[in-house]
């Protein structure tokens, strides 16, 4: 049998496909040495629905194989990546909705594809079968010849370059402190109060979002002091875990800004001396409000 027997738009049971062309009957990636092809199977509702489907870039994004832990470039994933050098054609199939009493899974042939030679794949964070976050591989598949635009679509298409978006304006009206505040409410209040404080000093203060190349989600910078070129991460607590998380976020965001900004952690109370030493060793300012009014800064 040859891949020439595949008809674009053909609906066929998966078992019949393997009888005709070989390959493994399980898994989303099925390489076949008998027919020199790699068959890719997309479920009616993909488990990783945010990473499998057509993107706005006219590329089909296909989450790699591996249900548990970080996905690795082995077995089916490696076969897909190396399909050209191994002389294999890639064919994509999308599962059709069938009556519950219908025997077997039926797929529609969406056409032939190839792994994008410029950016074959990217890595993303997604939950595994247990709900634990892990790293997955997402292949970028470009159509070869005629294809069908059927199948799922990505809710957000990953960017090909990192983009920073500044909010047009920031609501800086301080909020009234509540007797019992959630962590989110504390962050919201601290952010508004400190933004108001900086604005009163004549500083331009905004928020910003960072969309990293290849990512589908954006990270938020709590406050960007444009006047002083300073990134400010706000936390609800001065506990060690909160301070360490703030440090990680600031170090991550800093590399995307030019010129390089200074870094500040804003917390509701003075951290322990050891945590202040940790931040000082990294040249990170720590700021917290004074009970009498104003703010204390380790850079004063």
CATH code of the domain covering residue 252: 3.40.1350.10
What's CA 90's distance to the chain center, in Å?
A: 26
Residues 102-159: tens digit of each pLDDT: 778 999 999 999 999 999 999 999 888 888 999 999 999 999 999 999 999 999 898 8
Task: Identify whether residues 110 and 176 lie together within a single domain.
Answer: no
Structure confidence at residue 172 (pLDDT)? 55
Task: Identify whether residues 119 and 208 lie together within a single domain.
Answer: no
DSSP for 41-90 reads: EE-SS-TTTTTSEE-TTS-EEEE-S-SSSS--S-HHHHHHHTTTTTT-EE
Task: Identify whether residues 167 and 142 lie together within a single domain.
Answer: no
Statement: residue 266 has pLDDT above 90:
yes
Beta strands 205-211 and 163-166, pairing class: antiparallel
Of 101, 119, 147, which residue sits at a domain end?
A: 147
Mean predicted lDDT score pLDDT of the chain: 91
Residues 22-39: tens digit of each pLDDT: 999 999 999 999 999 999
Radius of gyration of the chain from its Cα atoms, rounded to whole angstroms: 26
27 in a domain, yes or no? yes
Lowest mean pLDDT among 84-98, 143-157, 206-220: 206-220
Full domain range(s) for residue 214: 163-297
Structure confidence at residue 176 (pLDDT)? 63
Task: Identify whether residues 9 and 141 lie together within a single domain.
Answer: yes
Burial 215-252 (b: 16+ CB within 10 A, else e): bbebeebbbbbeeeebbbbbbbbbeeebbeebbebbee
Task: Identify whether residues 128 and 191 lie together within a single domain.
Answer: no
Residues 246-259: tens digit of each pLDDT: 999 999 999 999 99
CATH code of the domain covering residue 80: 2.30.280.10
With pLDDT > 90 as the criterion, what percentage of the chain qualifies?
Answer: 75
**Strand 230-234's sheet: what is its strand order?**
163-166, 205-211, 218-225, 230-234, 262-266, 284-289, 295-297
Question: Are 54 and 153 a contacting pair, CB within 8 Å?
Answer: yes
Q: How many domains does the chain have?
A: 2
40: region left, alpha or beta (phi > 0 left; psi from -120 to 50 alpha)? beta
């Amino acid at each position: 049998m040859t891949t020439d027997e595949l008809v674009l738009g053909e609906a066929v049971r998966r078992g019949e496909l393997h009888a005709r062309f070989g390959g493994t009957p399980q898994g989303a990636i099925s390489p076949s040495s008998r027919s020199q092809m790699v068959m890719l199977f997309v479920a009616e509702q993909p488990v990783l629905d945010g990473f499998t489907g057509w993107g706005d870039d006219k590329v089909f994004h296909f989450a790699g194989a591996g249900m548990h832990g970080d996905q690795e470039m082995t077995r089916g994933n490696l076969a897909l990546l190396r399909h050209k050098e191994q002389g294999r054609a890639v064919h994509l199939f999308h599962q059709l909705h069938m009556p519950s009493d219908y025997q077997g899974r039926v797929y529609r042939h969406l056409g032939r594809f190839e792994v994008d030679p410029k950016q074959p794949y990217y890595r993303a964070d997604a939950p595994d079968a247990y709900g634990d976050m892990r790293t997955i591989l997402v292949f970028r598949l470009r159509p070869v010849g005629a294809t069908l635009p059927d199948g799922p679509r990505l809710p957000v298409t990953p960017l090909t370059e990192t983009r920073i978006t500044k909010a047009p304006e920031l609501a800086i009206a301080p909020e009234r402190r509540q007797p019992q505040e959630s962590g989110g409410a504390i962050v919201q209040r601290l952010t508004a109060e400190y933004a108001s404080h900086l604005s009163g000093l004549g500083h331009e203060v905004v928020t910003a979002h960072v969309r990293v190349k290849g990512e589908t989600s954006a990270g938020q910078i709590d406050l960007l002091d444009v006047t002083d070129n300073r990134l400010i991460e706000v936390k609800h607590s001065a506990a060690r875990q909160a301070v360490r998380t703030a440090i990680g976020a600031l170090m991550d965001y800093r590399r995307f800004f030019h010129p390089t900004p200074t870094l500040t952690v804003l917390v509701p109370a003075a951290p322990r001396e050891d945590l202040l030493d940790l931040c000082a060793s990294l040249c990170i300012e720590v700021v917290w409000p004074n009970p009498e009014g104003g703010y204390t800064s380790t850079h004063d």
